[in-house]
Amino acid sequence: MSAQMYTLAELAQAIGAEVRGDPELTVDGLATLQSASSTQLSFLANPAYAKYLSSTRAGAIILSEEAAERYQGNVLLHANPYLAYARLSHYWDASVPGSDSPIHPNAIVDESAVIAANVRIGPGAVIEAGAVLRDSVIVGPNCVIGRDSELGEGSRLHASVTLYHGVSVGKRCILHSGVVVGSDGFGFAPNAGKWEKIAQIGGVIIGNDVEIGANTAIDRGALDNTVIEDGVKLDNQIQIAHNVTIGENTAMAACCAVAGSTRIGKNCIIGGASGIAGHLEIADNVHITAMTMVIKSLKDAGVYSSGTGVQPNDKWRKSIARLRQLDQMASRLKALEKLVKSRD
């Protein structure tokens, strides 16, 4: 398939940029400063990469006003080069399928399902009774849409996504391969040394413009719904337990886990491999750094961390040995303080 080609003038108009250089120059892709060819567009967002401006072969570069002063080639001038790059990346996104086969003959679609206009359904997909697929939905190969579940306008499921029954997904959402939404929450009642299963009769509600990474699992609620609000971004291999609520525009990096009934606020950033215990409240605008364990509610905005930084193994072993002595050392310190006060 031939690459899509655009002039700098066309791209500038699309993102509200200014062309410095040849507006009729045609580019056919995006690349880094180090690897770009003369027919490709690049960008500079991180000052650490400014050193490549003098050697890049890029046909044009997206630059801020300040950076553009140091570059003599073709420029798309934009106040936020990284945002401009993000928007232009969709012009060369090869993952969007063509529209030549709207519903594959090997897909299984229940006659009671509601399929709107421009919907595409891949081979091996199963659409169960009462499911609703709104306009321009894309369902990849081998996906399963459970009964009475709904996909909002323009949403896309990549291959092998599973939506259990009674799941609602909003508009323009992207769910990557292996995502499971609406599986049972981890609910069991102890009974004479055994565990008795609690039926999980809530659902999952996912808002608009949500993206969920590969192999992430979101459990259905035990009674009320699990809720993922508008604009949330979840990375790969994340576990969201039953009855969790994640507020608008919160982003969570890979391998995090959130236990049941915790509420996470708006505009939070959760670093990779962090764990959040159940029945907690996380305020809006909280930033939790990677590998943090949260065991109490965080009621104020700010940056929170736990754990220790990496060290050479021999130094780490000494640090841990000292850490284990802290309680004993604290007791000795209190005894010394009492002794000093008794002599005053």
| Catalytic residue positions, numbered | 242
Kindly tell me the number of DSSP H helices and DSSP E strands found in the chain. Answer: 5, 37
- What token pair was written down for 54? 């003098």
Beta bridge partners of 150: 132, 168
The sign one gets for the Cα dihedral 171, 177, 182, 186 is negative
Beta bridge partners of 62: 43, 76
User: Which residue type is seen at 279?
Assistant: H
Beta bridge partners of 241: none
Terminal CA-to-CA distance of the chain, rounded, Å? 87
Do 145 and 128 meet the contact criterion of CB atoms below 8 Å apart?
A: yes
DSSP three-state, residue 81: helix
Do 108 and 128 meet the contact criterion of CB atoms below 8 Å apart?
A: no
- What token pair was written down for 17? 């940029």
Instruction: Provide the edge-to-edge strand list for the sheet that holds 18-20.
Output: 18-20, 75-77, 60-63, 41-43
- What token pair was written down for 119? 């919907």
Residues in the chain: 344
Q: How far apart are CA 185 and CA 158, in angstroms?
A: 24
DSSP three-state, residue 218: strand
Q: Which residue has the tokens 């928007």?
A: 87
Do 15 and 84 meet the contact criterion of CB atoms below 8 Å apart?
A: yes
